[in-house]
Amino acid sequence: MVSKMDTLDKQSYPTLPGVYLMRGTDDQVLYVGKAKNLRNRLRSYFSARGDGRAQIRFLMEKVVAIETIITDTEKEALLLENTLIKKYRPRYNIDLRDDKTYVSVRIDPAEEFPSLKIVRAVRKDGARYFGPYSSAGAIRQTLKEIYRLFPLRHHPLTTCKSRGRPCLYYQIGQCSGPCHGLISHADYGRLVQGVMTLLEGREDEVQTLLTARMLKASEVLRFEEAARLRDQINALKQSVEKQKVAGDQAGDQDVFGLHREGGEVEVATLFIRRGKLIGRRIFSLEWCLDEDALLSNLLQQYYARETIIPDEVLLPFAVADPEVLADWLSEQRGRKVHLLVPQRGDRVRLVDLANRNARESFRQRGSRREAQQNLLIELQQRLNLSRLPRRIECFDISHIQGTQMVGSMAVVEEGEPASRHYRHYKIKTVAGNDDFASLAEVLRRRLQRGLIEENLPDCLLIDGGKGQLSSVGLVLDELHLAGRIDLVAIAKSRVRANVRGKAVERSEERFYRPGRLNPITLRRGSPALFLLEQLRDEAHRFAITHHRKLRNKATLRSSLEDLPGVGPGRRKLLLRHFGSLKKVREATREELKQTPGLPESVAETIYRRFREVEAKG
């Protein structure tokens, strides 16, 4: 049902559960919400015109129509709301983003010999997941320590079994060699149990286990092993002592705190695992509606993603539909989840801590925003730009002698890298080694799309000198954008000998602007110079990475895909069995014929083709 605002009859809305879509001009969806009683919920928006909730009045001034969709239950309304938010991405719903990608540790006890993996997605696959952790580098370092205590395998079993002897990890005592039958299933299972016990935070049990192993080793006079276990126990104790104890709770908790000033909201989430604080996550949001709707939307979007759901979710205040949310979370997790607003004890202390984290993060963000504003003002003044460069895009071209030519775009928004907006471009219309024409093609494609989507940069940074500047200038003139987008070229610093030819000197980075003869230099070590250099280097790195990927793919295709009888399935089979393309090339006729699932005739063809290539080379 759709109602126009100018002829709205509030009594026409149903008193059933469902979802409502607020639409603006051009039928654009501005906001999606759910309600137990649609009529009562929408009536609160209309009454808000006369009260002090300016944020709701601001939204309602833009709404020209409201569409309602009836559901049988509140849970169905919640699921439909999530689906519609993903579909329409409404402006006034939460856009849940942060500046970090969090990781988890996965182990699947159902595997023959389970191994540890660092993953970014939590799936319903029967495996155990631990985390989340904010730093992939830090958790890799932690896993190194775990492997010294519990030497699980590192590589795929098929890869290890194809080797003639155990890998280097076995030689240094960080793998137990299950691929070569050097440990029984029962003993390996005990290692797996020890790893999961440690990742669950039950360090006391792990210390007891290691102490027993140390005493047993000393009894049979294996003193070196006993000393190594003693050192591991001491290292584990020191690690445990450094952890902050958050409470006496045995289960896992996610604790949400919130700080709001006007339309800006800072949300902090603390991760408590078995009573220990292992990390936090910060979200910076824009929100113009009530806080209970904010928190409800936040929980739905956060836990609808592939993330770990704990035993308890602690909130600073109640949401409108706690039972429905708790039921949905329990269904997502497969076990009971409690949604709590604590009133006393350790849980209240944790929520207060989360609120303080949100407040401090908001304060720091304000200071950072002021520094970024000053940085943008300095760039505008030093480079004589027509506008504040809130969005700067840098482009680069990568190739080898005109082959596999690709372009890249790296982006800075409000003085900070915006990697989600990075893009690759495969050169389509340029033949041969012509960087100027390739750059013009990439810019033309980017700006034509930007005109359609009304998403243009404030400033273009080009890696090159006056030649690249002129090439891009022609594209801006062609699209009538010369007055709307500032253009800057950055030329790499020169390395030259001094007048005596003894010492090497490095010149400053030079910046060129249209219509200006002499280059501009920025103060060495200045934040403005560092930002532009970093952006240029990011575009270069992004282009080279994609170019190498295409080149490796082309090499793989020319080596395997062109062989008769070798399609995608058999190519994967060969790489999985031998571990690399190099080993496939070096394999003997007998080794190829022993590959499971590969016909002897195909193995013979592969062997002969690679021998012919060797003879020609």
Out of 141-155, 259-273, 561-575, which region has the weakest mean confidence (pLDDT)?
A: 561-575
Residue 340: its pLDDT value, please?
92
Q: Give yes or no for a cis peptide into 114 (omega within 30° of 0).
A: no
Cβ–Cβ contacts within 10 Å for residue 545, how many? 13
Please give the average per-residue pLDDT across 214-231, as a whole number.
80
Element (H, E) at 256: strand 252-261
Closest CA to 592 of 602, 90, 471, 395: 602
Instruction: Report the C-alpha gap between 560 and 603 in whole angstroms.
Output: 12
Residue that the structure tokens 């952006």 belong to: 535
Q: Are 262 and 240 in contact (CB under 8 A)?
A: no
**Residue 10 backbone dihedrals phi, psi, to 5 degrees:** -65, -25
Q: Give yes or no for a cis peptide into 132 (omega within 30° of 0).
A: yes
Confidence of residue 7 (pLDDT cuts 50, 70, 90): very low
3-state DSSP assignment of residue 97: coil
Residue 26: its pLDDT value, please?
78
Residue 422 has pLDDT above 50, yes or no: yes
CATH number of 252-362: 3.30.420.10
Instruction: Report the C-alpha gap between 478 and 451 in whole angstroms.
Output: 13
Tens of pLDDT, residues 346-356: 889 999 999 99
* Tokens, residue 215: 């005493």
In the predicted model, what is the mean pLDDT of the chain?
79
Out of 198-212, 226-240, 381-395, 575-589, which region has the weakest mean confidence (pLDDT)?
A: 226-240
CATH topology of domain 2-88: GIY-YIG endonuclease (3.40.1440)
Residue 568: its pLDDT value, please?
72
What pTM, to 2 d.p., does this model score? 0.59
Residue 432: its pLDDT value, please?
64
Residue 443 CA: distances (Å) to CA of 403, 427, 512: 20, 11, 18
Tens of pLDDT, residues 246-260: 555 567 899 999 988
Closest CA to 46 of 22, 76, 18: 22
Instruction: Report the C-alpha gap between 227 and 219 in whole angstroms.
Output: 12
Residue 352: its pLDDT value, please?
92
Q: Which residues 6+ apart lie within 8 Å of 282 measured at CB?
A: 98, 99, 266, 267, 268, 269, 357, 358, 361
Beta-bridge partner residues of 23: 29, 65
Please give the average per-residue pLDDT across 325-333, as a whole number.
88
Tens of pLDDT, residues 74-90: 888 888 888 888 888 88
Tens of pLDDT, residues 375-404: 889 889 888 899 899 999 998 887 555 456
The percent of the chain in helix, strand and coil, each rounded to the nearest 5, is: 50, 20, 35
Please state the three-class secondary structure of 560-598 as a single string.
Answer: HHCCCCCCHHHHHHHHHHHCCHHHHHHCCHHHHHCCCCC
Q: Which residues 6+ apart lie within 8 Å of 277 measured at CB?
A: 243, 244, 246, 270, 271
Q: Which of 436 and 22 is assigned the larger pLDDT?
A: 22
Instruction: Report the C-alpha gap between 516 and 482 in whole angstroms.
Output: 15
Residue 314 has pLDDT above 90, yes or no: yes
Residue 48: its pLDDT value, please?
47
Taking domain 563-616, whether its CATH number is 1.10.150.20 is answered by yes
Residue 612: its pLDDT value, please?
67
Instruction: Report the C-alpha gap between 229 and 219 in whole angstroms.
Output: 14
Confidence of residue 613 (pLDDT cuts 50, 70, 90): low
State CA 607 to chain mean position distance: 42
Most confident of 157-161, 230-234, 475-479: 475-479
Instruction: Report the C-alpha gap between 382 and 166 in whole angstroms.
Output: 60
- Going 14 to 20 to 21 to 23, the CA torsion angle's sign is positive
Residue that the structure tokens 């501009």 belong to: 520
Residue 244: its pLDDT value, please?
45
Residue 52: its pLDDT value, please?
43
Out of 447-456, 557-566, 607-616, which region has the weakest mean confidence (pLDDT)?
A: 557-566
Element (H, E) at 66: strand 65-70
Residue 351: its pLDDT value, please?
92
Tens of pLDDT, residues 16-68: 889 999 888 878 888 888 888 888 888 877 764 444 445 566 677 778 888 88
Q: Are 358 and 258 in contact (CB under 8 A)?
A: yes
The beta strand positions in 95-236, using DSSP E, are 103-107, 117-119, 128-133
Instruction: Report the C-alpha gap between 71 and 83 in whole angstroms.
Output: 14
Beta-bridge partner residues of 407: 397, 425
Decide if 2-88 and 391-549 have a common fold: no
**Residue 51 backbone dihedrals phi, psi, to 5 degrees:** -105, -165
* Tokens, residue 514: 């249209």
Q: In degrees, to the nearest 5, what angle opens at C-alpha 560 toward C-alphas 556 and 562? A: 110
Tens of pLDDT, residues 496-509: 555 555 555 556 77
Q: Which CATH superfamily is domain 391-549 in?
A: UvrC, RNAse H endonuclease domain (3.30.420.340)
Residue 422 CA: distances (Å) to CA of 103, 275, 409, 459, 483: 21, 39, 5, 15, 24
- Going 559 to 563 to 568 to 570, the CA torsion angle's sign is negative
Residue 241: its pLDDT value, please?
45
Residue 257: its pLDDT value, please?
92
Confidence of residue 605 (pLDDT cuts 50, 70, 90): confident
Tens of pLDDT, residues 458-478: 999 988 777 778 888 888 888
Please give the average per-residue pLDDT across 443-452, as a whole number.
88
Please give the average per-residue pLDDT across 402-417, as a whole number.
79
Most confident of 93-97, 233-237, 452-456: 452-456
Instruction: Report the C-alpha gap between 469 and 489 in whole angstroms.
Output: 6
Domain residue extents for the chain: 2-88, 103-201, 252-362, 391-549, 563-616
Residue 548: its pLDDT value, please?
67
Residue 338 CA: distances (Å) to CA of 240, 255, 304, 309, 313: 28, 12, 17, 11, 6
Identity at 60, one-letter amino acid code: M
Q: Are 299 and 274 in contact (CB under 8 A)?
A: no
